[in-house]
Amino acid sequence: MSTPDAQPAARRAALFDNCLREAAHAGGSLMEMMTGKLRLALQQQVRSAPSNERDSPAQSLRLLDKHEARLRDAYPGALQAAFAEEVSGQQVKSRLVSVSFDELELMNETQVDESVEVARALQVVLLASDHQLTDLNALICAAQGLRTVQAHRNPVRPELYVRTLRKLLAQTDVPPRIWLNWMQHMGATLGGELGAVYASLSDSLRSRGVTHAAYTVTSSPDLVRPAAAGRDAAGLTLGQLHRLLAGELDAQPVPDSFAARFAREFESGGKESPPPAFANTVPAAFEALQEMKQVDQVMQRLAKRASDPAPAAALAAQAALPLREQLRRQARGLGQALGLEVVALMVDNITRDTRLLAPVRQAMRDIEPALLRLALIDPRFFSHKQHPARRLIEQMTHRSLAYRAADAPEFEAFLRPLRQAVDALSQGSMDSAEPFELALKSLEPVWDRQEEREREQQKRAAQVLARAEQRNEVARSVAKEMRAWPEAAQAPAPVVTFLYGPWAQVVAQARLAQPPGAADPAGCLGVARDLLWSTQPGLQKADVARLTGMIAPLLGKLREGLARIEYPAAAADLFFNQLMALHQQALKPAANASAAPDAKALTRARLDAMFRDGDEARLWLAPSEAQQSGFIEATDSLLSRPRLDPTQPLAGAPDASQDAAAAPIASTGACPIPLGAWVELQVHGRWTRMQLTWASGRGNLFMFTGVNGSTHSMTRHSLDQLVQDGALRLFSDQAVLDSALDAVAQAAMRNSVDVTL
């Protein structure tokens, strides 16, 4: 039985490419099946509809006739392009089944409907093809050389088929209301037929000797992003939430339909309040009960939730239920009712977010009454990012992420003023947003004073790194200049390594210290040319005298230049020992014919490769720069070795057979971690919480700042290595409040997808 490692890389690549071609080619027959069954459904609608209602399905059928052939012909090629983009990493990961809270406010009604229909189609496809997809995931991961299954590495996932279908339909002149209706029928067909395609692809891979990669349940060194656990919002749909954010519901009364009356009777029974599992979701369900004709379905869901044992996490919210109930009865419009619902969901999500320490979650519970009262007088406060209540929640939750333990002295200093502000808000009246504004104004100066020293230290470290980055940019340019010199091709490898590394930094340092335009400040390039000449093979006897006279001055200039960039003495001595050996050979011309391999001339290809590898793999920081910025090498120790040690081998490319869990965070790009994200970093065996506060424009240098103002910087290579070794993990790359509100939008999306129109 073969394993991924046993398969030659070239053979694996060929199998993988062939699988993608087969998957794309199947798109023609898939589209033919989808349009064929859609045609039958539309014909049935035309026949069964009353004469005055046949225009819409008849128009849909005419448009299908017009576009069917083009869709069938275009789908395979569009799939092939989508697969290629996915493999290359160029495809932006679109969230097909979710919409962020902030995005929702900017969408129009058609876009909301489109998001729901596409998500519903994807859900149908996933359910219908799940069994075959599980088998294919294991085989296609093995075909890529992965030892374990990582479903996101399968480029022929159902979402690619649905995404491409959506794109093709949207590019036609068919009105959205019609092609969205097509998506319902086509998604059902695609699910069943895609399962057969997956089964065929799996059989093809097995017949070529590919065996399954292993499924594993062990923890992986991948960066783990904590997420807020959203409570199910029974009845809250994406359309309702969109209209709330747009302000369209402010003047609408709460519907007094049969469903609403029945829900209220169920809520009180003339005897008692509703169970805590669903009490705070009933007002938001009124509109769904009326608009979606889902009385039985929703009431069954509510009854089931009422009979289920309340989860432990829900018990913590019981104290707020009486107030929620009281305020819900005060709601004078649908906007207020839904506003209360969204606030309650938001608070529940935040108080269950495991990124927050327990005292911060408790502070959020204690501030809920003030937020609920505010929702009645300002029901859309959460949709305005600069609203003082929203800013207060953002500040208290985001700043708290800096602390790993509630018993840390720094956390106590952070929490004490926060508790005072929360207590004042929970006990005071609420007739405007002013109390939140006052609370924020009282807290920000306290927090800013605590962080002032940290910001100053962070600023100094960022300036040091920016200067180092600038010097490295100039050094790269200098190295390219020297690479073009004809004599560089005749130089021994140690000399070339020295030139593209330390000496390029010396020249760059000199150029930055002089006015722009100076061709060779301090004569550094002249020194480089002398060094190249002095180590050329085949030196003639007539040149020996010149060499003898220039060695001492040359060594002095080299040492002087290296001192200007604080190049470590031990590394410099290593190079000078190699240089001495080369000069001793040069002083004996008769021995040049039998020179050691390292002293032989380089080929142009090898020379270019050495400069290229040096440019990509090296980024030099002087020891003082490293100390000021807390520079970390990938060896779990600070300042463990100089970055430009000429005897150090170049970093090799990662093994293509490694699992994605052990690969760098991302491929080439400006910043693999979002600026402002919180990470946990292990240094000298101890974990610390830090925030990414600076990144160079090229994405080669990063700085993280801790709660006490400490900074740690690293190169991209070191960052990737620390992630690979499990010593750097992502803790939070999204604000807690944004996560909580996005969870509300995602719950509304799930409800919308579950509704059968």
What six digits make up the tokens of 147? 């030892």
**Cα angle vertex 494, ends 493, 499, to 5°?**
95
Provide the token pair at 2: 């073969």
pLDDT band with cut points at 50, 70 and 90 for residue 359: very high
Mean pLDDT score, 535-540: 75
List, in order, residues 6 or more apart from 365 with CB less than 8 Å away.
316, 317, 319, 320, 347, 351
Residue 454 is predicted with a pLDDT of: 76
DSSP 638: B
**In the predicted model, what is the mean pLDDT of the chain?**
77
pLDDT-based confidence at residue 724 (cuts at 50, 70, 90): confident
Predicted local confidence at residue 7, as pLDDT: 52
Burial (CB < 10 A; 0-12, 13-18, 19+), residue 492, is buried
Task: Give the pLDDT band of residue 650 (cuts 50, 70, 90).
Answer: very low
Over residues 6-24, mean pLDDT? 84
pLDDT band at 1 (very low <50, low <70, confident <90, very high): very low
Work out whether the CA dihedral 60, 64, 66, 70 comes out positive or negative.
positive
Distance, in Å, from the CA atom of 185 to the CA atom of 171, rounded to the nearest integer, reads 19
Q: Nearest 10 degrees: CA dihedral of 135, 137, 141, 146?
A: -90
Whether the predicted pLDDT of 649 surpasses 50 = no
**Residue 30 pLDDT grade (very low, low, confident, very high; cuts 50, 70, 90):** very high
Strand, coil or helix: what is 642? coil
pLDDT given for residue 272 in this prediction: 39
For residue 18, the model assigns a pLDDT of 92
Q: Would you state the pLDDT for residue 555?
A: 93
Sequence-separated (6 or more) residues with CB below 8 Å from residue 359 = 406, 411, 415, 419
Which tens digit of pLDDT belongs to each residue from 43-84? 999 999 898 888 999 999 999 999 999 999 999 999 999 999
Of 286 and 483, the structure prediction assigns the larger pLDDT to: 483
Q: Which amino acid is at 208?
A: R
What's the confidence (pLDDT) of residue 105? 79
Query: Over 60: is that where the pLDDT of 218 sits?
Result: no
The residue among 12 and 577 whose pLDDT is bigger is: 577
Out of 407-416, 470-479, 587-596, which region has the weakest mean confidence (pLDDT)? Answer: 587-596
What does the pLDDT read at residue 165?
94
442 token code pair: 């009282």
Model pLDDT for residues 436-461, shown as the tens digit of each residue: 999 999 999 988 887 777 788 888 89
For residue range 561-581, what is the model confidence (pLDDT) as tens digits? 999 999 999 989 999 999 998
Q: Please report the pLDDT score of residue 121 as a whole number.
A: 86
E strand intervals along 62-110: none
Identify the pLDDT of residue 255. Answer: 52
- Judged against a pLDDT cut of 50, whether residue 179 lies above it is answered with yes
Is 40 buried (19+), middle (13-18) or exposed (0-12) by CB count in 10 A? exposed
pLDDT at 431 over 50: yes
pLDDT band at 216 (very low <50, low <70, confident <90, very high): low
| Site of tokens 């207020």 | 336
711-715 and 728-732 as β-strands: parallel, antiparallel, unpaired?
unpaired
- Asked which of 8-12, 172-176, 252-256 is least confident by mean pLDDT, the reply is 252-256
Q: Tell me the average pLDDT across 412-429.
A: 91
Q: What's the token pair of residue 443?
A: 């807290």
CB 121 within 8 Å of CB 187: yes
- Which has the minimum average pLDDT: 3-12, 464-473, 713-722? 3-12
| Whole-number pLDDT of residue 71 | 95
| Whole-angstrom distance, CA of residue 507 vs CA of residue 565 | 10
Percentage of the residues of the chain whose pLDDT score is greater than 70 = 75
Q: For residues 36 and 637, what is the distance between their CA atoms, to the nearest angstrom?
A: 64
Residue 198 pLDDT > 80: yes
| More confident site: 222 or 374 | 374
